[in-house]
């Protein structure tokens, strides 16, 4: 039976391939900056209907969900993509490609191991983050529909989720979808597969992210008489120096995820006038965390430096907080969000990862493991909910957010087959595959 179903996957992927590629082009040709995802959401709903999904709906925030019900009871595996993307930036940097063109050609592109070769690619903004993966996941559900029609037993439910507003890095779409929408509808999930770029490798985690704002306070005076004021910029210098030279080198390391990091990315001051000594200097800090670190522990590291500086300098005054942002979805829903994403890591020995890997091996794909440099909405599913989570997709991380945004079409076909094979194998696994992730 297993050999026959793998043969059927290959045959059906050939049958669906051309439509999947056209759908990917259509998604790329449809701008969907964060907060403006409605048309792409409409396209996703229409495509799932065309492919024969058993159920689909849109929630009040604009997230979309499609479900392919199995012919037998079993776990629910969420396949997740985000529908938004970042700005294309300066179109002059796109080397002749239109950011929303969705053009297909033969070009120089990386192999799985980042060695250059010629291959067919689709070009355009979000090709690699994550519209190609989105199309592949939606068509994986469509392929499962066809397997059911052919009489193959399908255990468990396939749940595609397309969420809004991932790019601002606050998980507002994913949080609302899981904690409110699915809960209200009596739905749940047992594990998640992310479509973020993995080059057909199985990705098993990433560092977390905290955006902090440290404010150093001074006192204004006329710029012609700086001795009458307290210059907040000057007062910020020892704090910056200690963060760079003392805190950063002391941060922990992880054998797979690398070192925790801290980066001062924005400096602003107020009142911000040439003739006024500033009384505030604001430092925007990007802190990447490892499993075991918390928001509270990261804030304390900065606060301890502030306290030590204040002890030595009576004029030094500062504080540090987590940054917040007001996000508004295309449906008009407002969400006050903290700029925090949790770190997570799942062992390659976890039963879910082993079952997913066995599925890929079953269709002839060599399994390699990796970890993202950037953050994803898996911070919710695994970082917070501790549900088994992996990344698997055809896109390549090095092209995300760049003017070289593209995806290999041969990787997309393999990704379609691989996603289906993962689903079929993990849903046959025993309860250990769905045990909560620990670190």
**Domain's final residue, options 326, 361, 386:** 326
| Whole-structure pTM value | 0.95
- Tell me which residue of 70, 58, 42, 197 sits closest to 141, measured CA to CA: 70
Same domain, 91 and 199: yes
In a domain, 334, yes or no: no
pLDDT tens per residue across span 130-163? 999 999 999 999 999 999 999 999 999 999 999 9
Give the β-pairing of 72-82 and 155-163.
Answer: parallel
Query: Is 30 a residue whose pLDDT tops 80?
Result: yes
State the pairing for strand pair 369-370/202-203. parallel
Residue 28 sits in the same domain as residue 107: yes
Taking CB atoms within 8 Å and a gap of at least 24, the contacts of 314-317 are 315/218, 315/230, 315/235, 316/216, 316/235, 316/238, 317/216, 317/217, 317/235
Integer CA distances (angstroms), 320 to 39, 212, 281, in order: 39, 7, 12
- Residue 160 inside a domain? The answer is yes
Distance CA 305, CA 432 (A): 44
- Residues 235 and 163 grouped into a single domain: no
Which of 267, 295, 326 is the last residue before a domain boundary?
326
- CA pair distance 8, 5, nearest whole angstrom: 5
The pLDDT tens digits of the residues spanning 152-161 come to 999 999 999 9
Helix 409-426 × helix 351-362 angle, to 10°: 130
pLDDT more than 70, % of the chain: 100
Which tokens hold the place of 390?
């992996």
Which of 326, 361, 384 is the last residue in one of the domains?
326
Say whether both 43 and 176 belong to one domain: yes
Structural domain count of the chain: 2
| Residue 317: closest CA among 390, 260, 235 | 235
Judgement on whether residues 277 and 349 belong to the same structural domain of the protein: no
Q: Which parts of 241-391 are beta strand (E)?
A: 253-254, 258-259, 261-270, 280-289, 317-322, 324-328, 334-338, 340-341, 344-345, 369-370, 389-391
* Mean pLDDT within 403-429: 98
Domain residue limits at 261: 208-326
Structure confidence at residue 3 as a pLDDT band (50, 70, 90): confident
User: Is position 18 within any domain?
Assistant: yes
Give the pLDDT score at 1.
Answer: 67
Do residues 360 and 410 share a domain?
yes
> Is residue 337 situated within a structural domain?
no
- pLDDT beyond 90 at 2: no
Between CA 247 and CA 386 the distance in angstroms is: 29
Look at residue 332 and tell me if it is in a domain: no
CATH number at residue 386: 3.40.630.10
CA distance 353 to 346: 8
Shared domain for 193 and 231, answered yes or no, is no
My answer on whether 154 and 268 are in the same domain is no
Q: What are the pLDDT digits (tens) for 340-382?
A: 999 999 999 999 999 999 999 999 999 999 999 999 999 999 9
**Within this chain, do residues 38 and 56 fall inside the same structural domain, yes or no?**
yes
> CATH number of the domain that 272 lies in?
3.30.70.360
Place of tokens 């295309």: 330
Is 362 found in the same domain as 380? yes
3-state secondary structure of 46: helix
Looking at residue 223, what DSSP letter applies? T
Average pLDDT over residues 295-305: 98
Same domain, 261 and 303: yes
62 part of a folded domain: yes
Neighbours of 286 (CB within 10 A): 16
Question: Taking residues 401-418, what's their average pLDDT?
Answer: 98
**Can you give the pLDDT at residue 169?**
84
Q: Do 181 and 246 have their domain in common?
A: no
331 found inside a domain: no
38 inside domain: yes
Which distant-in-sequence residues (6+ apart) come within 8 Å of 378 by Cβ?
Answer: 80, 192, 194, 196, 205, 206, 344, 389, 391
């Amino acid at each position: 039976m297993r050999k026959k179903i793998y043969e059927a996957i290959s045959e059906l992927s050939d049958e669906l391939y051309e439509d999947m590629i056209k759908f990917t082009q259509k998604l790329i040709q449809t701008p969907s900056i964060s907060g403006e995802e409605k048309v792409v959401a409409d396209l996703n709903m229409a495509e799932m209907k065309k492919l024969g999904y058993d159920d689909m709906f849109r929630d009040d925030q604009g997230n979309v969900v499609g479900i392919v019900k199995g012919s037998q009871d079993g776990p629910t595996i969420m396949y997740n993509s985000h529908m938004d993307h970042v700005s294309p930036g300066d179109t002059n940097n796109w080397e002749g490609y239109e950011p929303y063109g969705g053009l297909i050609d033969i070009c120089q592109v990386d192999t799985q191991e980042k060695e250059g070769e010629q291959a067919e690619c689709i070009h355009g903004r979000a090709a690699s983050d994550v519209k190609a993966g989105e199309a592949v996941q939606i068509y994986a559900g469509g392929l499962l529909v066809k397997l059911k029609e052919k009489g193959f037993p399908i255990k468990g439910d396939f749940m595609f989720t397309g969420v809004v507003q991932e790019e601002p890095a606050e998980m507002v779409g994913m949080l609302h979808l899981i904690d409110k929408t699915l809960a209200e509808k009596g739905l749940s999930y047992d594990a998640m597969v992310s479509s973020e770029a993995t080059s057909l490798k199985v990705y098993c985690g990433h560092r977390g992210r905290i955006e902090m704002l440290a404010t150093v306070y001074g006192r204004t005076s006329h710029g012609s008489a700086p001795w009458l004021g307290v210059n907040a910029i000057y007062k910020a210098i020892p704090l910056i120096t200690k963060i760079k030279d003392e805190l950063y080198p002391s941060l922990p390391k992880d054998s797979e995820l690398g070192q925790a990091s801290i980066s001062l990315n924005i400096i602003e001051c107020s009142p911000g006038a040439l003739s006024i000594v500033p009384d505030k200097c604001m430092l925007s800090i990007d802190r990447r965390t490892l499993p075991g670190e918390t928001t509270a522990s990261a804030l304390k590291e900065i606060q301890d430096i502030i306290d030590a500086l204040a002890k030595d300098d009576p004029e030094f005054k500062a504080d540090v907080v987590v940054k917040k942002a007001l996000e508004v979805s295309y449906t008009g829903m407002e969400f006050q969000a903290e700029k925090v994403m949790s770190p997570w890591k799942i062992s390659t020995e976890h039963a879910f990862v082993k079952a997913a890997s066995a599925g890929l091996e079953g269709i002839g794909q060599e399994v390699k493991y990796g970890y993202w440099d950037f953050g994803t909405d898996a911070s919710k599913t695994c970082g917070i909910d501790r549900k088994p989570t992996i990344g698997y997709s055809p896109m390549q991380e090095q092209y995300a957010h760049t003017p070289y945004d593209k995806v290999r079409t041969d990787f997309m076909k393999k990704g379609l087959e691989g996603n289906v094979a993962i689903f079929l194998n993990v849903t046959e696994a025993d309860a250990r595959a769905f045990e909560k992730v620990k670190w």
